[in-house]
Amino acid sequence: MTDIFIKSFNRPFYLDRCLTSVYRLVSGSFRVTVLDDGTPQKYMERIREKFPEVKILTSENYPKKNEAIAENLSSGKEINGFEIPTELWISVAQNATEYFIMTEDDVWFTREINIDSLVSEMKNLDVSLLKLGWLGNFRDDQNLEIENLSEDIQRTVPKNLFLGNEKVMEAFFYNKLKFFTFLYKLGKVDNFTQRKYWALVSILMGLYRKDYWLETWKNIHGKVDEKRQLTNAAAFYRNNQNNRNFIARLNREALKTTFQSSATNSYHRYGNAFDVNLFNHQISESWLKGDFDAMQNFPDDFSIEYFEKFLDEKIDRNEMRSWIGQFKQQYKNLGCDVG
């Protein structure tokens, strides 16, 4: 048995797509749990009706986040997307199977995998993180030593990472005592150095060994703190770097995500008038009525033209397309395949 956890917030049409892809394409022994942070009850009831086998847990912030969604729709007040339910995530991980997938509602499987076979290989090869997707980003392969371990799995060994204990890595990522500045002046690091450490983690698309996932989320108290995650990952990896199989990936990606929506406006502000919260509401309402097909254009993302069919005049199409273009460009600049 392997746990599949899906973090969810206010995009039931994407959650529907995610869950449908799991039951279509994942074989083996697994159980699915949705970890929801405030999606309106009427949408979650429809998810329960469609996927009765799925367990749904709600965060301690659920009532507050639910209220924030309603207030946003009535007054336009922003939803705080930087407040995250880490207590729920960590609690379920602590009680999870030895290996588990932790993903999000806007991620979906694109090809068949057998989860029992993958977990068995991870155990035999001593892999702590198997990346099931990496956003089509092969640019960063130049920073990796890559070797096939099996027909399905490649080891990915990061090259030339500065590694230290937790205190040293805190100084490195947070520039305590100007430590990173000092290394920069010496020419030991540059503006792209810290980005290389993302080779050690996978926020959206990882099949993790439990102890490693829990370590990467240590001391993260309800707020988005990517530097803390990288600090934790680097310190743990330092103690396991002799294991060249510690980080691995599939030979071919099995997961995809969207670059056309976000859970809130918090993460992607591009200076235009597009309101992603209103967009999510209008698509969710169409989905609830049965008009919106959660699998349109699958396994690729929904077409923009399809989205537009379900939007009223409150959503400016040009502003929406501009927002999506800037969102995609942000990740394209990192080397991702944004579709």
Q: Is pLDDT larger for residue 137 or for residue 67?
A: 137
For residue 4 the two structure tokens come to 């599949």
257 in helix, strand or coil?
A: strand
Q: Answer yes or no: is 119 within a domain.
A: yes
pLDDT at 264 over 90: no
Asked if residue 179 belongs to a domain, the reply is: no
Q: Assess whether 119 and 91 both reside in one domain.
A: yes
One domain for residues 73 and 127: yes
Length of the chain: 339
94 and 71 fall within a common domain: yes
Residue 339 in domain: no
Question: Band of the pLDDT at 79, cuts 50, 70, 90?
Answer: confident
In a domain, 308, yes or no: yes
206, 233, 255 - which closes a domain: 255
Q: State pTM to two decimals.
A: 0.94
State whether 64 and 148 are in the same domain: yes
Range of the domain at 324: 258-332
Q: Which residue has the higher pLDDT, 338 or 230?
A: 230
- Of all residues in the chain, the percent with pLDDT exceeding 70 is 98
Looking at residue 46, which CATH number applies to its domain?
A: 3.90.550
Are residues 101 and 248 located together in one domain of the fold? yes
Residue 21 exposed, middle or buried by CB count within 10 Å (0-12, 13-18, 19+): buried
CA 144 to chain centre: 21
Number of folded domains that form the chain: 2
Q: Which of 255, 288, 305 is the last residue of a domain?
A: 255
- Domain shared by 111 and 41, yes or no: yes
User: Is 173 contained in some domain?
Assistant: no
Tokens 């995250």 locate to 84
* Residue 59 confidence (pLDDT) above 70: yes
Instruction: Tell me what the mean pLDDT of segment 256-269 comes to.
Output: 81
Q: Which pLDDT does position 231 carry in this prediction? A: 97
Residues 202 and 318 both lie in one domain: no
Between these two residues, 31 and 86, which has the higher pLDDT value?
31
Nearest to 330 by CA among 283, 274, 264, 262: 262
| Residue 338 confidence class, pLDDT cut points 50, 70, 90 | confident
For 193, what's the count of Cα atoms within 13 Å in the CB-facing half-sphere?
16
Say whether both 283 and 144 belong to one domain: no
pLDDT band at 82 (very low <50, low <70, confident <90, very high): confident
* 287: in domain: yes
Residue 29's φ and ψ, nearest 5 degrees, are -100, 110
144/162 same-domain check = yes
The predicted pLDDT at position 289 comes to: 97
The residue among 193, 216, 191 whose CA lies nearest residue 203 is 216
* Residue 78, pLDDT score: 77
Q: How sure is the predictor about 81, in pLDDT bands with cuts at 50, 70 and 90?
A: low
**Spatial distance between the Cα atoms of 248 and 251, rounded to a whole number of angstroms:** 9
Task: Supply the mean pLDDT for the chain.
Answer: 93
Yes or no: say if 331 and 135 are a contact pair by the CB < 8 Å rule.
yes
Out of 255, 280, 304, pick the residue that ends a domain: 255
278 band by pLDDT with thresholds 50, 70 and 90: very high
**Are residues 295 and 213 located together in one domain of the fold?**
no
What confidence score (pLDDT) does residue 266 get?
62
Q: Pick the range with the lowest mean pLDDT from 41-55, 89-103, 220-234.
A: 220-234
Residue 17 domain-assigned (yes or no): yes
Domain contains 284: yes
Answer yes or no: do 133 and 152 share one domain: yes
- Residue 50 shares a structural domain with residue 162: yes
